[in-house]
Amino acid sequence: MKKLLLPALAGLVLFSACKKDNDTVPTQQYSGTFSGSNEVPAVTASGSGTFTGNYVPSTRVLDYTVTYTGLSGAPTGAHLHFGDAKHKTALPTVPFPTASLPTTTSGTFSGTATLTIQQADSLTAGRIYANIHTAANTGGELRANVRVK
C-alpha cells in the first residue's frame, strides 16, 4: 500500500503545480466605436459612442460599459450580436438588460454577462459587435465592432 501511495501523492503534487501555471490567464480588454456607418446597411445618423469591456477567459465573464450621444431618440434595445469584420449581421446573442438603458438620446450603461463557449470564442476571434436600436432605426442606429485593445 505504501508503494502506491508515494507515487500517487507525487503525481498529484506535480499535476497541481502544472494546473496553477495554466490558470493564470490575464483579463483581456475590448473596445469599439459606435457609428451609423458601421450598420449594415449603413444608417445616416449623427450619434456616436464607445463600447469598452473587460473579459476574463477563465470565467468567461465580460464586464462592459456603453457610452453614446446624439441618438435620434431613446434606445429601444441594445445587444451584442455575432458578426464578423466584413460587417455581416446576425441575431442578437447577448442582450443588454432593457431596464439598464437610459431613456435619453445620450447616456451610459454598464453590466456583466457570463458568455457561453460559442460567444466567448466569437468575442476572442473578433466576431462580435454591439448595436443600439431606436424607434427610428429598428434594425440598429449605431454599431460598434468589438475588438481586443
- pLDDT score, position 16: 43
Strand extents, DSSP E, the chain: 28-34, 48-56, 61-69, 75-82, 92-95, 107-114, 128-134, 142-148
Tell me the domain boundaries of the chain: 25-148
Domain 25-148 has CATH 3.40.50.20: no
Q: Among candidates 143, 140, 142, which has minimal Cα distance to 128? A: 143
- Summary mean pLDDT of the chain: 86
- pLDDT score, position 11: 47
Question: Residues of the chain whose pLDDT is less than 70?
Answer: 1-25, 85-87
- pLDDT score, position 68: 98
- pLDDT score, position 136: 97
Cut 0.85: pTM above it: no
- pLDDT score, position 49: 98
